[in-house]
Structure 1
Amino acid sequence: MITRVIARTILSALLGLAMVGAAQAQSEETEIAAFSVVRGKGSGFKVAEKLGTFVGTLEGPFFVDGGEGPVKAGSLVCSATLEIKTEDRAYKGSGRCLIAGEEGGEVYGQWTCEGHFLVGCSGVFTLTGGTNRFAGITGGGPMTMRTSVGKLGAGTAVSQNVEVEGILFWRELKYKLP
């Protein structure tokens, strides 16, 4: 029972499931840990000698963790453009995301990252807005993406329907509601 109370508190903080009074902590910055196990589809192709690219989408459930274990808080879908160096599998990328809350409302964000296959692509995630109870949301934090996209080779032809899987995680995602 206590775990459910804690989980509800975390969901309320992130997704605004329970709006407290206007005078309460709405303008205070809140920090959470979050992650999404994602699957993606897109196209992979050679863009230069020893350089490939992946253009597609990543999507999956969105979880928050306040110390008592993960709780599903919504779903996530992100655009992804990743460049992969075929010699050392270093890659960098960028994209935009939509997080849809379990109880409605959406949060928008954008990200950039650099890294290596298996180690992860780490960078910055910035909250850019939201709808309904998330209107005016600001914040962000470090994000890491580990996906199978680094396995892609840089062939000469476009490889459509490339499937990837992985995880996106935020250890210190900070946000503020007006």
Structure 2
Amino acid sequence: MTMFARALVGALCVAVAGPAFAQDDVQTFNAFAVVNANGTIVRSAEKQVVVAASLSGPLFIETDEGPQQAGRVSCALSSKIDQASRKTSASGGCTFTAGDGATAWGEWDCAGYELVGCRGTFKLTGGTARFAGATGESTLVWRPTVHELKKQLDGTTLDNASGIVLWRDFKLKGK
């Protein structure tokens, strides 16, 4: 990975020194986060539930030499699940935080199936410090792996899960 590419990947949290990148420069890469998700499940119709959750964990950028830890990511999630078909749709936002405190954030949406996960789009919408003005987009994939459900007295259910969030073919453009 060139110093130029490292500077671009830095816009999603790798604290690597490198030259500034020009407005027309676009870098494509893959990233993933191993996350813990904590949320609440609420019945919203006879055969529908809504999940409100937060996901967080370490962020990794895929390089030719293997995954490189790049900082942390925190995401908010709102999901509707049709219990008859098991289809789900979700949306939310994420904040990426680099070791030096610079941040980037974006919004996403996806569709899929309960317990399997979903696929959709992610759009970088801004950032702070060295990431101010950066834009980009990718395919987003959420794959939960383990669920621990706890029924509450008020009828809601707490959901603690773990899984992986993938950002595929992330196209990042400088400010």
TM-score by length of 2: 0.85
The two structures, once aligned, show a CA RMSD in angstroms of 2.6
The 1:93–1:158 alpha-carbon spacing in structure 2 relative to 1, beyond 3 Å, is same
Aligned length, in residue pairs: 170
More strand per residue: 2
Contact 1:36 1:168 (C-alpha < 8 Å) held by counterparts: yes
Q: Which residue of 2 aligns with 1:13?
A: 8
Say which SS state the counterpart of residue 103 (structure 1) adopts.
Answer: coil
Contact 2:124 2:136 (C-alpha < 8 Å) held by counterparts: yes
Contact 1:91 1:150 (C-alpha < 8 Å) held by counterparts: no
Q: Which residue of 2 aligns with 1:158?
A: 156
Matched, 1:40 2:37: yes
Q: Which residue of 2 aligns with 1:136?
A: 133
Residues 23-172 of structure 1 mapped to structure 2, 5 A cutoff:
25=22, 27-147=24-144, 157-160=155-158, 162-172=159-169
* Overall identity of the aligned pairs, in %: 34
Q: Which residue of 2 aligns with 1:175?
A: 172
Contact 1:58 1:77 (C-alpha < 8 Å) held by counterparts: yes
Contact 1:84 1:150 (C-alpha < 8 Å) held by counterparts: no
CA shift at 1:148, angstroms? 5.0
The 1:151–1:87 alpha-carbon spacing in structure 2 relative to 1, beyond 3 Å, is farther
Question: Which amino acid letter does the alignment assign opposite residue 31 of structure 2?
Answer: A
The 1:11–1:129 alpha-carbon spacing in structure 2 relative to 1, beyond 3 Å, is same
The 1:11–1:117 alpha-carbon spacing in structure 2 relative to 1, beyond 3 Å, is farther
Contact 1:86 1:153 (C-alpha < 8 Å) held by counterparts: no
Extract unaligned runs of 5+ from structure 1: 1-5
More helix per residue: 1
Extract unaligned runs of 5+ from structure 2: none
